[in-house]
Structure 1
Amino acid sequence: METAVITGGAGGMGLATAKIMGRDHRIVLADVSQERVDAAVKELLALGLDASGVVCDITDRASVDRLFASARSHGRVRAVVHAAGVSPQMGSAELILRINAVGTINVTRAFLGTAGAGDALVNVASIAGHLQPAVLEPTRTYQLAFADVAKFEQRFVRLVNLLPKKVRPGCAYSMSKAFVIWYTRRIAAALGQRGARAVSVSPGSFDTAMGRLEERSGSGEMLEFAALKRFGAPEEVAEVLAFCAGDKPGYLTGTDILVDGGTKAGLNIKGMIAIARGL
């Protein structure tokens, strides 16, 4: 049986994805908390799934390398769903950028090292990454992700720190998720040379611990513009994540899939500005 690595797999959409992918993959969960990892693995084992867990700090490349080494000891790592991340209420702008942006680089590079034909990487972005006008994206800073990750992080933090202190975490979140979308598109060619794929998925407002934490900071307000006037269930986005990471959509790569209940479709410029200020 082939292996799927799921970061942020101890809860929310990560754990929901593990339950689906565990039907035909050996699951290796990663989370920063040993207690959460143990509880999630216990839940998967109770369902009759083949699962194990690894404590991993995705901001530390050595820690990510150990995660993948552990996963490969069980066999071929065919798929990675990178769901680990933090939202504006969970830390400083610096921490948000480090986890969401640098963490994505570390996981992607570790996967790229041994990716082969039929393998797939799915990075979880966010609707927040779609609220920043493309013309304002700091692509010169983004480019540093391929040349100098330390300088990339320093430049990114410097950009965010030019903003008023109150809005920095929200802006850091939006910028970091816009980067995930951009970076996934850019890395697709390198993976394609190996016959592998890379896709990003951008959830909207979901009924997870993180989603509810952000309810008063913009995610609840988004529902006013959505076609579906409710929070999404983790299992609903998990179906999309698992499909993208599966072997059936073999021609799907280099793109982002928005799973937002029709929120962006209902947003006008005024609404986008209002929500962006709240993120």
Structure 2
Amino acid sequence: MTDRLLDERRDVVVVTGAGGMGTAIARRLGSGRTLFLAEASRGQLDRAVAALTSEGYAVHGVPTDVSDRASVEKLAEEAAGAGRLAAVVHTAGVSAATASARTILEVNLVGTVHVIDAFAKTATRGTSLVVISSMAGHFASLSREDEAALATAAAEDLLGLDAVAAVGDDATTAYMVSKRANHVRVEAAALAWNRRGATINTVSPGVISTAMSQAVAESPNGEHMLRMIDECGAGRTGTPGEIAEAVAFLTGPQARFVAGTDLLVDGGQAAWMRRHMRR
């Protein structure tokens, strides 16, 4: 990023993850703002930054591994130094179709806590943080005691919790637990963010047309997933643009009274699973 762009002191938007959802959200929120795009894959980051720059966005790519606390803290400090932090949207994550249980827990679970903790230090009045979770988090089987521990344990203690250790090598269960942990972590963090005049929420997408969902569709569970989309009545997958619109709402002035909650954007699939799906 040039010094000129930094000197303009525009509002700052941070997006972690340069995949389909991340880039759609960056496009939706980034106009007229300084955009920080964070991604672990340097190649993917460079391609996304080049595309956004060619479209006129003032974008700064920051190689970031969300599972590494120091990496996330560096990102938060750089973003806070560039202007008023308007929004942080955490989309970085991995799926059960592409990663091991251990990696899922390190990225989706611990990485999300690193993002919440790091940006809590730099959030100011009007800052909004949105964590992209998943519809899958609504179907994790956890006790109230397990959820309380996931909501409050220090990042370095999370992998040792009973509910996390019980996951073993089951990547699907790891994904569901990590995404439910996102929900309860945000609920627990909402009080501190409210006291700063800031907001924190989650968005839980259903099946969205991204490279990650394509990998899931091609996995052994893919046929079942696609059949449920039809049976719930939606008849299609969602688009990254629809997630971007939900995030725009939660980070905009019309949602200042929305805090510590989850917004399902799944075409009604979760409702169908709860009320209509044959067990």
Same fold (TM over 0.5): yes
Report how many aligned residue pairs link the two structures. Answer: 265
CA deviation after TM superposition for structure 1 residue 153, in Å: 1.3
- Over 3 Å counting, the alpha-carbon distance change for 1:94 and 1:190 in structure 2 is same
CA deviation after TM superposition for structure 1 residue 76, in Å: 2.0
Partner residue of 1:276?
Answer: none
Paired residues of 1:86 and 1:96 also in contact (CA < 8 A): yes
Matching residue's letter, 2:14: V
- Over 3 Å counting, the alpha-carbon distance change for 1:104 and 1:235 in structure 2 is same
Equivalent of 1:92 in 90, 95, 100: 100
Do residues 7 (structure 1) and 11 (structure 2) align? no
Deviations 1:113-157 (CA, angstroms, capped at 9, x unpaired): 021111100001100001124647722531452xx3222212254
**Gap runs ≥5 in structure 1:** 274-279
Misfit runs of 4+, over 6 Å: none
Q: Could you tell which deviates more after superposition, 81-90 or 70-79?
A: 70-79
RMSD over aligned Cα atoms: 1.9
Do residues 153 (structure 1) and 159 (structure 2) align? yes
Partner residue of 1:131?
Answer: 139
Partner residue of 1:210?
Answer: 212
Partner residue of 2:238?
Answer: 232
Partner residue of 2:79?
Answer: 71
1:168-179 matches, within 5 Å, as 168-179=170-181
Q: Could you tell which deviates more after superposition, 101-110 or 148-157?
A: 148-157
Counterpart Cα distance in 1 of 2:158 and 2:20 = 29
CA deviation after TM superposition for structure 1 residue 73, in Å: 2.8
Deviations 1:49-77 (CA, angstroms, capped at 9, x unpaired): 11111000000110001111222232122
Counterpart Cα distance in 2 of 1:219 and 1:186 = 31
Equivalent of 1:264 in 249, 261, 270: 270
Counterpart Cα distance in 1 of 2:43 and 2:152 = 35
Counterpart Cα distance in 2 of 1:233 and 1:74 = 31
Deviations 1:198-229 (CA, angstroms, capped at 9, x unpaired): 11000000110001111142532431332311
Matching residue's letter, 1:128: A
CA deviation after TM superposition for structure 1 residue 268, in Å: 4.1
Give the match's secondary structure for 1:257.
strand
Matching residue's letter, 1:233: T
Equivalent of 2:30 in 12, 22, 29: 22
Counterpart Cα distance in 2 of 1:28 and 1:197 = 19
Paired residues of 1:88 and 1:170 also in contact (CA < 8 A): yes
Equivalent of 2:109 in 101, 117, 121: 101
Paired residues of 1:59 and 1:103 also in contact (CA < 8 A): yes
Do residues 196 (structure 1) and 198 (structure 2) align? yes
Deviations 1:164-197 (CA, angstroms, capped at 9, x unpaired): x5xx100000010011011111100110011100
* TM-score, normalised with respect to structure 1: 0.89
* TM-score, normalised with respect to structure 2: 0.89
Partner residue of 2:40?
Answer: 32
Give the match's secondary structure for 2:245.
helix
- Over 3 Å counting, the alpha-carbon distance change for 1:45 and 1:143 in structure 2 is closer
Partner residue of 1:219?
Answer: 225
Matching residue's letter, 1:122: V
